[in-house]
Amino acid sequence: MERDTTLNNIVHQVPSPCYLVDTALLRRNLEMLQQVKRRSDCKILLALKAFSMWGVFDLIKPYLDGTCASSINEARLGAQEIGGEVHVFCPAWQDREIEPLGQLADHVIFNSLAQFERFGKTLLVINRGIQLGLRINPAHSEAPAALYDPCAPGSHLGILAQDMPRKLPGEITGLHFHTLCEQNSDALERTLAAVEKNFGPYLEQVQWFNFGGGHHITRDDYNIDLLCQLVSGFKDRYGVEIYLEPGEAVALNTGYLIATVLDIVHNQIDIAILDTSATAHMPDVLEMPYRPNIEGAGKPGERPYTFRLAGRTCLAGDVIGDYSFDHPLKPGERLIFHDMAHYTMVKNTTFNGIPLPDIVICDSTGNTFHIQRKFNYDDFKMRLS
Ligand SMILES: Cc1ncc(COP(=O)(O)O)c(C=O)c1O
């Protein structure tokens, strides 16, 4: 696949390393999400844990209903920069967080009945209109890896059916589950069947139901018809408002990490050392793990020149992977890592003092870009003492 010349021009003018987010691609995703909202009459929130690049939130704002946050910091960011509804879930709250939580959130979802009993009434005093909910654990695993499976045995996330009270407390107006990870709507269909089987008596006691994130709605092969059917069906059966809170689907395939080869070394294989890092700048490559696509590169041996791509930290495992190219890599050459908008900026670190990549926003339809943020020594130092 050859990149269109407009983006090619931009890629060679931006600083390296940088995260480059294309608003034209983001708009495409948002339009797809808006279609889902229209067709199934649900509400969609941006999961800030995946994508918190608030420099593009003005673009996102008109398409979505608000944000879902995992902390006071994210709730504040959502309230300030997107507005609309702010839904917050965190596995456990500290006493000192309840006052700001009550002021920022419209919906608070508790992970246990004990947390609800401890903080629910105080939240209602702080904010009379706040909606309180419980996270349930449908005990039905769909996630591809244990790291991403909130229904795995021993999980600390969500209340199991056997631990639910016979009748929900009067202050609880909604339920929430999050069990999917990069999945299609068939996984949601099976999950909803488990929810209806295990939590049936509660579904008519609530006014809203949140199906969490992990819906890969903007992926090419995603079955949107089935999603809309499932949402509308559930809504009609129980008379509830439905929320989806995708993170990845909002920013999927909208951004790149632009990096440069700094040096070539050889130890059984040719190794290119880059001005970026797997562990510091794209930690999910190691954590998830996954292999990012690179423009113009293939699997090892597929093209004539195979290189191992290494990061510039001291971690021996700071390796992005082995890739093959049509020509030998040389210092100064730029590489374009695909799909680097979500779960990158929100998770990166300055490990080894490596500077964070700049953040650049472009519009590939208009051949324009601007540097949104550069990081300096203070950004590194101020987190450390
Ligand atoms: C409670 C909750 N909601 C939403 C999300 C967003 O998931 P995704 O980015 O896969 O759509 C997550 C991700 O971990 C989550 O834990």
| Domain chopping of the chain, boundaries | 23-250, 261-333
pTM for this prediction:
0.97
Class of domain 23-250: alpha beta
Exposure class string for 294-332: b at 16+ Cβ within 10 A, else e: bbebeeeeeeeebbbbbbbbebeebbbbbbebeeebeee
Which DSSP letter does residue 166 get? S
- Cross-strand pairs, 132: 108, 172
Average pLDDT per 10 consecutive residues for the chain, totaling 385 residues? 68 96 98 98 98 98 98 98 98 98 98 98 98 98 92 97 96 98 98 97 97 98 98 97 98 98 98 98 96 98 98 98 98 98 98 98 93 97 96
Question: Measured from the CB, is residue 248 less than 6 Å from ligand 1?
Answer: yes
Token pair, residue 304, equals 């004539």
What's the gap in Å between 70 CA and the centre of ligand 1?
10
CB 29 within 8 A of CB 6: no
Fold observed for domain 261-333: Lyase, Ornithine Decarboxylase; Chain A, domain 1 (2.40.37)
Across 138-228, the runs of DSSP E, i.e. the strands, are 159-160, 172-176, 208-210
Q: What pLDDT score does 1 carry?
A: 43
Nearest ligand 1 atom to the CA of 248 is 9
**23-250 shares its CATH topology with 261-333:** no
Crossing angle for the helix pair 23-40 and 224-238, to the nearest 10 degrees: 40
| Ligand 1 mutation pick, 29, 32, 43, 49, max ligand atoms within 8 A of CB | 49
Residue 280: in which H helix or E strand, if any?
A: helix 278-281
What is the per-residue pLDDT for 7? 78
Backbone angles phi, psi at 147, to 5 degrees: -60, -25
For residue 206, the model assigns a pLDDT of: 98
pLDDT at 330 (0 to 100) = 98
Instruction: For the beta carbon of residue 98, count every other beta carbon within 10 angstroms.
Output: 19
Q: Among 48, 178, 216, which is best to mutate for testing ligand 1, by the most ligand atoms less than 8 A from CB?
A: 178
Q: Which of 28, 9, 32 is nearest to 20 (CA)?
A: 9
- pLDDT of the residue at 3: 55
Per-residue burial over 350-363, b if 16 or more Cβ lie within 10 Å, else e, is bbeebbbbbbbbbb
Among candidate residues 184, 345, 189, 191, the one with its CA nearest the CA of residue 276: 345
